[in-house]
Structure 1
Amino acid sequence: MKFNSQSVVESNVLELVWNNTNEAIFTIGYDGRILTANPSFTAILGWEETDFREDSCFPFFADNSPEEHQKQLTQFKRGHDIPYYVTRRKRKDGIVLDILASYRAINNGEVLAVGMYKDFSEHMNIQRRLQASEDCYRNLVEFIPDAIFVESNGKIAFVNSPGISLVGAKSAQEVIGQSVWQFIRTDDKITLKAKIQQVISTKEPIIERLLRFDGETIWVEIIAMAIVFEGESVIQILLRDITSKKNYDAQLEFLAFHDPLTGLTNRRYFTTQINQAIENAEKKNHMLAVMYIDIDKFKRINDSLGHDVGDQLLKQFANRLKEHVREEDVLCRIGGDEFLILLNGLKDKKKALEIVSRLHKAFQVPYLIDNQRIVATSSIGIAMFPENGIDSKILISRSDAALYLAKEQRNVFQFY
């Protein structure tokens, strides 16, 4: 009696589920026809049980092909279930729906299997819109000349073709899964991370060096922002190669402070350096020397042998200066054949004498230009700080005065 009462309760519960669930539930017979279907089946697809009485194939299969149905019947008869998968089914009015379907093999009495359908159209439409948006994004960034990287959880999830080229990779597979920041050359990773976070929040670009796969280092401008990609919050990083601009800016800066022919600094730069050197020398109680140099009879050489030879002579002369002074000394071409040298951080006058003697000796060696042996000596005037002045203008003026005295004999050096 207790058993019968429990069966009645279970039957009532099953009937409630059958009649009130939102999913379409139906039973399938051994001949492939639908035996019974719940109200949601009709509500979702529009078909009723009477529509299947004379047709063993499901008329709501979107392609009207019996192959899928026959394949499923074979699986049911073998006792195999069919887990959830997305397929397409046709309503009675002809509208095709996206359906999440599943089947359970029963093999009990007349019932071979039980099927369940859930209308998945809205979900799939959202997914298609997302996919269309992502496809549009991918297509768009492929036409952008700048490198685009999408980083998820610290790893590259997407890179466009310019991005592959920028880092010198052969394919996206070489880049996917790595971190963008491993390509950035920096001695301070913590500071770099802070900069990136600032870029994401302010969208103000930063400039860093990037090391390519081939070992070449380039300069890149970095812009980063948070976006949604494939339904996930990620970081989009744009890298723009600015190496040419960086080199051009460096060249402009170089030309602003250097002589384009010899590569030595110009008077503008020399003035800033000598003023700074005087301040340091005063603090450390050091001496300085300013040497004013020109090439003896340069005009005659330039006029007789031509300006090209004259330019080559100036370049070779500048190289001799570089070879015979110290790294901390400053070389300057004022113009023509006139040069200045600042000897930094001298402890005594003896060191200045040592350097000027070395230069004077080097100037005795003839120059070889276009297979021509050219003898061109030089005259040097020297003024000492603080002995001959404590001001840059005075020191330069008095070294020039010392040079004037040296020029009376030529090929000598003269202290003020």
Structure 2
Amino acid sequence: MFSAKTKTLFFDSTITEGLLEGYVRLSVVKDDETGKVKDYVVMDLNGPAARVSGLNKKDIIGKSICVVMAIDRDCGEKLRDRLAETKGSKVFEYQFKQTDRRFLINHVPVSDDEILLFFAEITFRRKAEQVMQVHEILFEQAQDIILYVAMDGRIINANQKACDQYGYIKEELLSLTIQEIRHPSEAIHYEEQMALAAVDGIIFESLHTRSDGSVFPVEVSARTTETESGKLRIHIIRDITERKEQDAKIRWMACYDGLTKVLNRGGFLEILDLELQRAKEENTKIALLMFDIDKFKRYNDNFGHHVGDFVLKDVAKRVQGVLRESDYLGRFGGDEFVILVSDVQDSDYVTSLMARIHGIFKEPIIHEGYPLQVSISLGGALYPEHAEQAKGLLYHADQAMYYIKYKGGNGFQLSR
């Protein structure tokens, strides 16, 4: 492989063409007066090197290295300077900004007049590495929990958000399975959910547990993907505690009165229908009571609406104190309230309850040290004696209440 005359190292073309990397043999062109390197001229190259330039080999031989590397004059000068600075055999990385191409160059000096370059383009590899770096940053800084899960359920990678949310250091989290961070009540859904994750992916809600045993609701997006090492599942998990609390608040506002915190008209009627259905199925009795505050308008007119609101809240609180947990109190609007009493034994029980409710207003309501004497007019009806539908019960309770009001108020009456 040596020429006896020139003592120059060269490679047979069968060898160079078999290389996967680019090979270029360069002649060093120097200034006759200063001895400084002026250029590097191509003496030989292989196919991979020629393909970098997009030219035929015959069009490259005898031309500057800039032609081979498909770069402009300025970039070529920088490469020549880099080659001139490199003493001995060295490997360096070089990027040609004009073409946005990056090469790994192995510089092998043969003599003062010749050098060999072996180079491989690593543009795509570097871009892939950059993408991976960005991916790693996004993975660690993501606001959602991200878990890589093996097909047998082992957690094989987790981001910082996962560690923070579950309360484990990373090593501890990677010793667990996905089943171990799910609440036990979710176990029956696991196989079905993972089967769907393997097909088109799945989004579902679940309950997860922290290291301290506390439970929190999550939304999980799970998908199975192929990697060089085989299949794995990617779980992107979002804590939806705030969303659930907001949903609960919206549902509460839809069913409850904001002032008195008892059921509103819609919420009460919904429960009334359910309790009537249950009473029919179980052959039990229920009672519907209705009352309003006698001459309530005077509190607003004489003392202001803030005092009227105070009276409404106090009335609701007092009545709730008399009822059982299984009974329901609602406000239909204004000063009109309704009560649903379930599992009633007989009319005597209802009459006794009405007497207790009426009696709690013997003591005045105290507002800022000032006593407000309050009384109510209370009427009631029984299922199934007086009516079997909600509308009929409301009618009979209302009629009984207005009978008391007609008599001057401050009393109670069960429908006859």
TM-score (norm 2): 0.65
Aligned partners of 1:280, 1:287: CA distance in 2, in Å? 10
1:1-29 Cα deviation digits (max 9, x unpaired): xxxxxxxxxxxxxxxxxxxxxxxxxxxxx
Matched, 1:161 2:184: no
Deviation for aligned residue 1:340: 0.7
1:394-405 pair list within 5 angstroms: 394-405=392-403
Between 1:285-294 and 1:301-310, the stretch displaced more is: 301-310
Deviation for aligned residue 1:338: 0.5
1:72-114 Cα deviation digits (max 9, x unpaired): xxxxxxxxxxxxxxxx9987844379xxxxxxxxxxxxxxxxx
1:61-76 pair list within 5 angstroms: none
1:98-177 pair list within 5 angstroms: 134-152=132-150, 153-169=152-168, 171-177=169-175
The 3 A distance-change label for structure 1 pair 61 and 191 is: same
Aligned partners of 1:317, 1:217: CA distance in 2, in Å? 38
Q: State the SS of the aligned residue for 1:95.
A: strand
Aligned partners of 2:174, 2:125: CA distance in 1, in Å? 24
Match of 1:381 in 2: 379
The 3 A distance-change label for structure 1 pair 145 and 158 is: same
Aligned partners of 2:370, 2:180: CA distance in 1, in Å? 54
Deviation for aligned residue 1:238: 0.3
1:351-400 Cα deviation digits (max 9, x unpaired): 21232222222232333333443322222101112222222112111111
Q: State the SS of the aligned residue for 1:388.
A: coil
Q: Which amino acid aligns with 2:372?
A: I
Match of 1:34 in 2: none
Deviation for aligned residue 1:222: 0.3
Aligned partners of 1:229, 1:307: CA distance in 2, in Å? 68
Matched, 1:254 2:252: yes
**Structure 2 gap segments, 5+ residues each:** 1-14, 24-87, 92-104, 111-115
Deviation for aligned residue 1:323: 2.1
Aligned partners of 1:328, 1:256: CA distance in 2, in Å? 21
The 3 A distance-change label for structure 1 pair 359 and 200 is: farther
Deviation for aligned residue 1:305: 2.5
**Structure 1 gap segments, 5+ residues each:** 1-39, 47-59, 64-87, 98-120
Does the CA contact (< 8 Å) of 1:141 and 1:148 recur in 2? yes
Q: Which amino acid aligns with 1:95?
A: F
Does the CA contact (< 8 Å) of 1:382 and 1:415 recur in 2? yes
TM-score (norm 1): 0.65
Deviation for aligned residue 1:411: 2.4
Equivalent pairs, count: 317
Aligned partners of 1:194, 1:357: CA distance in 2, in Å? 56
The 3 A distance-change label for structure 1 pair 193 and 312 is: farther
Q: State the SS of the aligned residue for 1:355.
A: helix
1:313-348 Cα deviation digits (max 9, x unpaired): 222222222221122222211001111111112232
Q: 2:118 aligns with which of 95, 101, 110?
A: 95
Q: State the SS of the aligned residue for 2:379.
A: strand
Aligned partners of 1:369, 1:228: CA distance in 2, in Å? 71
Aligned partners of 2:167, 2:370: CA distance in 1, in Å? 47
Match of 1:219 in 2: 217
The 3 A distance-change label for structure 1 pair 204 and 389 is: same
Does the CA contact (< 8 Å) of 2:106 and 2:117 recur in 1? no
Aligned partners of 2:410, 2:190: CA distance in 1, in Å? 56
Q: 1:311 aligns with which of 301, 309, 312?
A: 309
Q: Which amino acid aligns with 2:158?
A: V
Aligned Cα RMSD in Å? 3.6
